[in-house]
């Protein structure tokens, strides 16, 4: 987890590479409180640097001090409202707080700023999934697929959203196309078996359950 956080931190960049080096080192080491204090000291010298507010906000976020995190990210937006990553940060903070409706608003704002970013659609889809809005989740995954180079993981997710939304014909079509791509895999037979079972087509369900067993899987 620490490596992932550090990677995100490095990729997001800083307005000045040498700005508050100590704080950035603490951040990459996972020393969130030390990072917070270092960024606070740095902000005394650079009070209008949006990225420093963002980084201090992320340190607060890692310490689960969500209100402090929101306040700093909002200040970053006030200084530089065109930076899309700030809206994504707020979406993630509100998601951690359990405020999914607000989280959706910020993912939507990020999408408005960068409508071809497939990650934003996928992340919003997962929030819809948590809210039980499976059809909306499937729609967002379809939009993510439009812009993503890597298709298969998104299609697998979309297939499950179709099934949960009761869109069984769409789910079966998606599963069959995945089946053709991957070959006759036990897991895909199992998926088809359950989908046909939910549709009430018992003969087809039995056929695919049998094939799943023959392929060595467990439906």
CB under 8 Å to 116, separation ≥6 — which residues?
A: 147
Q: How confident is the model at residue 19 (pLDDT cuts 50, 70, 90)?
A: low
Query: Over pLDDT 70: what percentage of the chain?
Result: 89
Whether this prediction's pTM lies above 0.85 is answered by no
Domain residue spans of the chain:
23-102, 182-218
pLDDT band at residue 18 under the 50/70/90 scheme: low
**pLDDT tens track for 121-134:** 999 999 999 999 99
Tell me, which fold does domain 23-102 have in CATH? 1.25.40
34 pLDDT band (50/70/90 cuts)?
Answer: very high
Tens of pLDDT, residue by residue over 142-191, are: 999 999 999 999 999 999 999 999 999 999 999 999 888 877 678 888 88
Are 142 and 170 spatial neighbours (Cβ–Cβ below 8 Å)?
no
When pLDDT is averaged across residues 100-122 and rounded to a whole number, the result is: 98
Render the burial of 134-161: b for 16+ CB within 10 Å, e for the rest: bebbbbbbebbbeebeeeeebbbbbbbb
Do the Cβ atoms of 59 and 35 come closer than 8 Å?
yes
């Amino acid at each position: 987890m620490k490596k992932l956080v550090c990677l995100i931190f490095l990729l997001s960049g800083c307005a000045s590479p040498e700005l508050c080096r100590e704080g950035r080192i603490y951040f990459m080491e996972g020393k969130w409180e030390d990072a917070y204090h270092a960024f606070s000291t740095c902000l005394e010298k650079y009070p209008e640097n949006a990225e420093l507010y963002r980084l201090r906000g992320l340190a607060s976020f890692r310490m689960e001090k969500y209100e402090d995190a929101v306040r700093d990210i909002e200040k970053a937006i006030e200084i530089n409202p065109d930076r899309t990553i700030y809206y994504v940060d707020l979406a993630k903070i509100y998601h951690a707080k359990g405020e999914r409706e607000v989280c959706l608003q910020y993912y939507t704002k990020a999408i408005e700023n960068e409508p071809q970013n497939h990650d934003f659609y996928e992340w919003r889809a997962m929030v819809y999934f948590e809210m039980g809005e499976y059809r909306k989740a499937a729609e967002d995954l379809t939009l993510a697929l439009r812009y993503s180079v890597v298709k298969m993981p998104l299609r697998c997710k979309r297939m499950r959203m179709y099934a949960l939304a009761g869109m069984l014909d769409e789910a079966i079509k998606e599963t069959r196309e995945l089946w053709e791509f991957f070959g006759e895999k036990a897991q895909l037979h199992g998926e088809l078996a359950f989908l046909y079972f939910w549709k009430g087509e018992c003969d087809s369900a039995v056929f695919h359950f049998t094939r799943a067993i023959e392929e060595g899987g467990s439906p």
